[in-house]
Amino acid sequence: MQIQVWAPANLLLVGEYVVTEKGGLGIAAAVQPELQVSLCSAPEFMAEAYTAKPLFQWHAHEAVPQHAELTAACLESLGYHEYPPVHIKIDSSAFYTEDGTKRGLGSSAAVAAALVSALFLYKLHMGLHLLDPKDAAKLRGMQEGCIANLESGSGSGSRSRSESRSQHEVRSSLLRHAVNAHRKAQGGGSAYDVTASLFGGLGLFRGGDLPGWEALPAEALPPAIIRYGNAPVSSPAAVLGYKGLKAAEPEFVNQHVRQSNQETLQLVAALRAHDQDSFGQGLRRMARLGLDLGARVGVPAEIEPVRSGYGKAVGAGNEIAVLFPDSSCAETGAGQDQPLHVASQGVRWCISA
């Protein structure tokens, strides 16, 4: 048996730092490119990973090698107390430039989403996962699928409600395991990136122990491009700076969280109404909020000025910006600019005998 799983990259459009708070709101998206995790039956356990170059190779009964901590955390979260007889291959080379530079598009979060899904599917097909037998049989019958096509909890009729609840439980279980594994390996985090890569599309993220996610109409986003900054930004260091600011100026941070949440909800309303003018005005306000907070945290959020249109740094610092050029003027910049393509399916998989 071979299981192939693909997971998209991710970015946080608005809500930087605020999403680390319980109830903190942000708008996140799953975006191209994708990474791939392959899992196949083997005589004994072996895991290997590649980025722009080989990252690690881990054999059964060896200590966890450097860079394999997330893989170990995924196995542990899913209850693998012994090494399963599988060969795991993680290929995240699409998240790197040709010269080996890492794009700041949440590669570790995408790995968590894809690997947890692959290990879950393996358990399911081996009869090791505790689902109702009928529900398990239905899921095993999905040789190809994606998380976006699993019901999120609604349905009509007694049978469809039962199936919907089962699929909702699968979605929640995958999210919980992926978030727990990623937080353990990374030492914490809001998990907006894991959530976006897992569920796909554009969504309203709500911070918490188990994050919340409400799908938004990705087609309502104006055409946009992703622009990469000149240097990577350490997200853990940025979050540490935010925590320091919170300790030193709690009133300022509390006010910022309230204002950011309010502005985020207005952006959500604009997207649901397909009101691009209101969206543009709201994003400009969020950009100004981000500049102020970044200056206080000590991780600047300034970006190269947009010739015509608007944009803002996304995530911590200014490693990545999303620009919304005016339709009458195509924004051009560094050669690494790329169109923003929302990945609607999130994690998807294919299973073969």
Average per-residue pLDDT for the chain: 89
Q: Are 129 and 113 in contact (CB under 8 A)?
A: no
Q: What are the structural domains of the chain?
A: 2-216+343-352 (3.30.230.10), 219-339 (3.30.70.890)
Radius of gyration of the chain (CA): 20
Q: Is 198 helix (H, G, I), strand (E, B) or coil?
A: helix
Alpha-carbon torsion (69, 74, 80, 83), positive or negative: negative
Distance of CA 247 to the CA centre of its chain: 28
Q: Are 150 and 174 in contact (CB under 8 A)?
A: no
For the chain, count helices (H), then strands (E): 8, 13
pLDDT, tens digit (0-9, with 9 covering 90-100), for 215-251: 999 999 999 999 988 777 788 889 899 999 999 999 9
Task: Give mean pLDDT, residues 278-282.
Answer: 97
pLDDT, tens digit (0-9, with 9 covering 90-100), for 16-35: 999 999 999 999 999 999 99
Q: Is the peptide bond preceding residue 33 cis, with omega within 30 degrees of 0?
A: yes
Distance of CA 59 to the CA centre of its chain: 28
Kindly state the DSSP code that residue 329 receives in the 8-state scheme: S
Question: Half-sphere exposure of residue 172, counting CA atoms within 13 Å on the CB side?
Answer: 11
pLDDT, tens digit (0-9, with 9 covering 90-100), for 109-142: 999 999 999 999 999 888 776 555 555 555 666 6
pLDDT, tens digit (0-9, with 9 covering 90-100), for 136-176: 555 666 678 888 888 665 444 444 566 666 778 888 999 99
Q: What pLDDT shows up at residue 164?
A: 65
Q: How many CB atoms lie within 10 A of CB 205?
A: 29
Task: Give mean pLDDT, residues 300-329.
Answer: 87
Nearest to 163 by CA among 196, 132, 125, 204: 132
pLDDT, tens digit (0-9, with 9 covering 90-100), for 81-106: 889 999 999 999 999 877 777 777 88
Write the DSSP string, 122-164.
HHHHTT-S-S-HHHHHHHHT-SEEEGGGS--S--SSHHHHHHH
